[in-house]
Amino acid sequence: MKKTTSFIIFILILTITLGGAAAAQTDDLPPGAISSFQPQKSGDRVDDALAAGKDAIYQEQWQKALDSYSQVVKAGRAHVDEALYWQAYAQDKLGQDPQALKTIAQLRREYPRSQWIKDAGALEQEILRKQGKTVKPDQESDCDLKLLAVNSLMNSDPDRAVPIIEKLLNNGGNSGQCEGQVLDKALFVLSQSDSQRARDLMLQIATGKLHPELQKKAIHYLGISGNHDTLMKIYQGSSSVEAKKTALHSLGISGGCTELLTLSAPEKDPQLVKEAIHSMGIAGCKSEVRDLYNKVTDSEVKRDLLHSTIVSGDTELQQKVAMSDPDPKMRAEALKDLGVSGGCTQLSGFSANEKDPEVVHAAIKAMGVGGCQQQLRDLYNKTTNPDMKREVLHSTIVSGDTELQEKVALSDSDPKLRMEAIKDLGISGGSSATLTKIYQNDQNPDVRSVVINALFIKGDAHSLVELARKETNPELKRELVQKMSVMGNREATDYLMEILNK
């Protein structure tokens, strides 16, 4: 035993020594190689003016900010592009719009690749809007400015925006450059417009007659606007499964329960039936899902309907199926969904009346998932079946009930269940004081071994060291040392060094 332990400790010390030697190689770096990455103090007047300008902006002292940033611009050194932007910003706040526009033009002219160009363009658009000048997104080349212009038109004059948006769509909206962002925003504007021209254009896109690459996005926006009739027409008139799925999902977003039930009833495609049911859950269609569950006979459809209740929060249907459905598989599915939905009250007392072991297992697991600590404690106290007690204990790992684990570990009359509870305490990160107390009071080597493993699993090197100092049983002490030798803990390593030095 002593040779084995000494060999393990020798390997550990060798690893630490080699690790320290590798770390020491940083001494070979040239002087200043590390310090060169540290911030350097400048004390430069330009930096002082820049800092003063930022502080003035924060304090909303616009004239002071303008004076400070003007100094940076006049110096003509670093940060001039940044200073020009904030100079224009301060001029705008002071009501000096013409000067602000000139400053923005200077920034574009002298620093065309500056990161401040886009911010300056947005500021320019805002100034022009305040002046009542027309914002023309189709004449802008910058993607972000196009988005700003489209948004401005949406807020100020949606009807006027439609022909401009139509032109953007027909020209591609620079979609290759802007990655579809402008077209995306344009579609949203169209979906919110009440004009007939906008509706007709939106319908053409949503049915795939125009810009088929934008069809799914157009259907999505129709759902946001709550246009149920148009979504029904798209579903019934389309041959594309993807377009139909998108229409169903959009009906779910907009709360189209009646429409979803109407469309799902005659549908033969299982993909579309599944999507319709999922969308009912999103829409919160409780009564429609209940009616459909009672009518259908297909077990897969019933299972999908049950899973949709997790989204809709219909624990009433879950409980009804769990209690009375003749199919044990459906009862088990309903119990799982109750657990996910947190239906602890509905799960209370259920297992006592169920005869099918698989359904009982599902109920106990569901209580763990649902965090039903009191219900699990009641079940543990009532049942005399050791297998069921063991399942209840394991479910406490998920529910986080270390209190029940400790109670069983300390006082249960069944030694096997006590050891199961000790294992679960280790996995759950339970009280080290409780585990140590069990080790000290129980002389059974098997129980002590389980405690050692539980402390190891929860990473408590300190408790393992304390137990090892007092342990006289050579087998248990070897087990303690073996666990500590692979923990990589400083306190454990120090204890191993003590053994070597004896």
Query: Is residue 127 a part of any domain in this protein?
Result: yes
Q: How many domains does the chain have?
A: 3
Helix or strand (DSSP H, E) at 4: helix 2-23
Query: Is residue 148 a part of any domain in this protein?
Result: no
> Which of these three, 86, 112, 133, is where a domain ends?
133
Distance CA 140, CA 187 (A): 18
Which spans in 342-444 are helix H?
344-347, 357-369, 373-382, 386-399, 402-411, 415-428, 432-441
Distance CA 171, CA 166 (A): 9
> Is there a single domain that holds both residue 419 and residue 497?
yes
> Is there a single domain that holds both residue 391 and residue 420?
no
Span between the terminal Cα atoms of the chain, in Å: 15
| Whether residue 250 has pLDDT greater than 70 | yes
CATH of residue 119's domain is: 1.25.40.10
Query: Is residue 457 a part of any domain in this protein?
Result: yes
Q: Which position has the higher pLDDT, 118 or 414?
A: 414
> Is there a single domain that holds both residue 433 and residue 396?
no
List, for residues 99-156, the tens digit of each pLDDT value: 999 999 899 888 888 888 888 888 887 888 787 765 555 555 555 566 566 666 656 6
> Is there a single domain that holds both residue 342 and residue 389?
yes
Query: Is residue 285 a part of any domain in this protein?
Result: no
> Is there a single domain that holds both residue 330 and residue 361?
yes
| Residue whose entry in the numeric block shows the structure tokens 């990473």 | 459
- Domain coverage including residue 360: 313-400
78: burial class by Cβ within 10 Å (0-12, 13-18, 19+)?
Answer: middle
> Is there a single domain that holds both residue 386 and residue 318?
yes
Query: Is residue 68 a part of any domain in this protein?
Result: yes
- pLDDT given for residue 483 in this prediction: 95
SS3 61: coil
Query: Is residue 232 a part of any domain in this protein?
Result: no
Distance CA 426, CA 356 (A): 31
> Is there a single domain that holds both residue 395 and residue 417?
no
pLDDT band at 201 (very low <50, low <70, confident <90, very high): confident
> Is there a single domain that holds both residue 380 and residue 465?
no
> Which of these three, 107, 133, 159, is where a domain ends?
133
Query: Is residue 188 a part of any domain in this protein?
Result: no
List, for residues 50-85, the tens digit of each pLDDT value: 899 999 998 999 999 999 999 999 988 888 999 999
- pLDDT given for residue 10 in this prediction: 42
- What the block records as the tokens of 314 is 């219909």
List, for residues 32-54, the tens digit of each pLDDT value: 333 322 333 444 688 888 899 99
- pLDDT given for residue 502 in this prediction: 77
> Which of these three, 118, 133, 148, is where a domain ends?
133
Predicted structure pTM score: 0.63
Distance CA 275, CA 108 (A): 51
Rounded to an integer, the average pLDDT of 152-179 is 63
> Is there a single domain that holds both residue 328 and residue 375?
yes
Under DSSP, the state recorded for 28 is G
> Is there a single domain that holds both residue 452 and residue 383?
no
Helix or strand (DSSP H, E) at 7: helix 2-23
Query: Is residue 479 a part of any domain in this protein?
Result: yes
Q: Are 474 and 444 in contact (CB under 8 A)?
A: no
